[in-house]
Structure 1
């Protein structure tokens, strides 16, 4: 195995000895490059998210327009994700990511120029948000599908996903807080500029990777036929279908609470951009704790039951946040909300990446993108409209109740989902092959190491 690693360049620079199992994916050179580049770029991404929300609210003071901008930025992902998944399965994934990062850099720099020159209007924000949504439709399935290429050894994939989530949430912690300081000192345009420059790091990391040329699997099959194959594969798998349906519900009803954060910061808690940064930072702390708790795991065994539990925690956090009118209590509830949100997101991603057939990886992850991001635009519109009619606090309370109902629905089908997962886990060597029936040997039991 050592000679293979030298040939691929995946783990040549860091020996296994002394590397904690919690960070074992970082022994792969390509993943270390990705980790370094993304750590820088994601801070800029979170700065832009906070700055965009605050800019829209500053220009319009409208909950409906906050939801509309969220819709414009995410609806292209919903419409294009299945096609993007086919493209990702037909084209070298590293090339896809280099192009998406370059276009995202252009989008951020355009936003910075318009804002810093005081030419920005809500129309231009909507157009550039939609452009970013088109980019994300290809970037997210490409990024998720490329993960296994960066670690190569499938046993390290779950650890890589957990480390990636930790990286995202460390950036979620730093980025919003930094954005609040920058906005208060100058204006939103400098956040966009910092984000644009930060993409250089991730583009450089992708170009420095040494990966073998990918073997594509279309072999003359049309894109339409591949699209149909992807849908049939997803619809025919009870575990994949169940996970995606739950997260489509959470994306529709739960995650759009983020677009209402400026309203909570300004109207409910009577604060400013610093308050918004603190709230977003609290979500980041909870999410980071969640991701780190998954980093130390040695196996995917035991994760399935965490999906509905995490959805319920997420819902409880949202309900408590809706009732809170105190800044310190709101920060605590955002910690809980962030923990539940990231626990469910990371565990579902890990399980999907473990179960999926390699030749279907891009298409399955495109449907994951639809469930995670694609349903959010409808949720953003719904959240904005509800907040306009019944207020932001009551809106997130309703959202939390919907998340708890979804978790109970998934829990009721957990036994059947485990039975369908068992043969795949046995084939991969995750659990031992046994003569006893699947009902008598649960996937998520006390025997987990």
Structure 2
């Protein structure tokens, strides 16, 4: 998985010399903190208030409802401008969080109301990452792309640590209303900072020559005829379907029923996964290890499935945290190269639309969660994890063989050094 070529003089500080990135970075950080806090707060609230793992996984699935319309968001961003779309969506996040805060204050909050509001946010939330990546690719010089992606990934991982710990701690000591006051404030800060990013617009000729429907069709055609993009999309869908459910949506279930811990323990479990991701992001951004991107992505995804299986057999909280840290490490070694592979294999004019297509793979997560709920209740958590892990390893091998020239060949563009 090594490559003898070395990236030319990448320096992470160069990204902050771009004004747009100086606004985008803290705005994305505040949004990520709020996202992670909400996931912990509402996941624990629904499980405690309803006692239903089915309702828990349904809530988790709703957060990714908008992955189906992410390609349309990519087209809209190209036409309206990324700046306007970014601050508009984050204004909606702030409004929905404010509504939940008021419902909690007046003791009118119910699991059903949480699911309704989560469906609204879930229609736009998956496109947030698409807008971040496309904006980075459009506002920074090409030679700074990997450094900027590494920085973006590090802030996201660190936000997951802070969000998990703060989300659990605040609700434990201050209550739901105070916790959501913090969430609302973070969204407002993100909205304000997002107004400072560059208003990236496409070339006028590209807008005039194609209708929105033609733009959408061209994105599907473009990805379909690029084996590298199809292979990367397949890997993204597979890990969302079979790996992510155990470190995201089902984590409150494991904390409550396997480790017999509280909100604070749940926060530490979530933070352990994020800390592992942060370590991997630091490793990739250092450029000390010349890894082949696509091969690294495939090997890391296989290791992730194995670690999910080991985690299912773990009953000690501290050992579980260690396994989750390792899982977070290989998760980042899978997802960061995946983003680099897709952006490098895509022409600049298609960045927004292709990254919108990439978000369709997130739909694997709600499908995986919805299937895992009944399975956990019928055959148990351990058996479900074993089934998911075995299937993940088999399908990873199958797609590697099918797209071996695009994904595994050392001379493929997908295996350029990170």
TM-score (norm 1): 0.85
Listed as ranges, the matches of 1:291-440 within 5 Å are 291-297=281-287, 302-371=292-361, 373-413=362-402, 415-417=404-406
Structure of larger gyration radius: 1
Listed as ranges, the matches of 1:188-203 within 5 Å are 188-203=176-191
The verdict on how the C-alpha distance between 1:185 and 1:239 changes in structure 2, with shifts beyond 3 A counting, is same
Tell me whether 254-263 or 46-55 shows the greater mean CA deviation: 254-263
Contact 1:69 1:129 in 2 (8 A): yes
Listed as ranges, the matches of 1:230-245 within 5 Å are 230-245=219-234
Higher-RCO chain (CA-CA 8 Å, sequence separation at least 6): 2
Partner residue, 2:47: 57
CA distance in structure 2 between the aligned counterparts of 1:359 and 1:160, rounded to whole angstroms: 19
CA distance in structure 2 between the aligned counterparts of 1:72 and 1:53, rounded to whole angstroms: 12
What's the CA shift string for 1:15-62, capped at 9, x where partnerless?
Answer: xxxx98244323323212222232233222211110011011111111
Contact 2:26 2:193 in 1 (8 A): yes
Contact 2:23 2:193 in 1 (8 A): yes
CA distance in structure 1 between the aligned counterparts of 2:400 and 2:64, rounded to whole angstroms: 29
The verdict on how the C-alpha distance between 1:102 and 1:300 changes in structure 2, with shifts beyond 3 A counting, is farther
Deviation at 1:354, TM superposition (A): 1.5
CA distance in structure 2 between the aligned counterparts of 1:34 and 1:20, rounded to whole angstroms: 20
Listed as ranges, the matches of 1:23-422 within 5 Å are 23-75=13-65, 77-151=66-140, 153-210=141-198, 213-216=201-204, 217-257=206-246, 258-297=248-287, 302-371=292-361, 373-413=362-402, 415-417=404-406
Q: What do you get for the CA RMSD once the two structures are aligned?
A: 2.4
Which runs of 5 or more residues in structure 1 are unaligned?
1-18, 426-442
CA distance in structure 1 between the aligned counterparts of 2:242 and 2:220, rounded to whole angstroms: 24
What is the count of residue pairs matched by the alignment?
Answer: 408
Tell me whether 160-169 or 255-264 shows the greater mean CA deviation: 255-264
CA distance in structure 1 between the aligned counterparts of 2:337 and 2:254, rounded to whole angstroms: 29
Deviation at 1:392, TM superposition (A): 2.4
What's the CA shift string for 1:118-151, capped at 9, x where partnerless?
Answer: 2111221111111111122543322221112332
TM-score (norm 2): 0.91
Contact 1:96 1:138 in 2 (8 A): no
The verdict on how the C-alpha distance between 1:364 and 1:210 changes in structure 2, with shifts beyond 3 A counting, is closer
Deviation at 1:299, TM superposition (A): 9.9
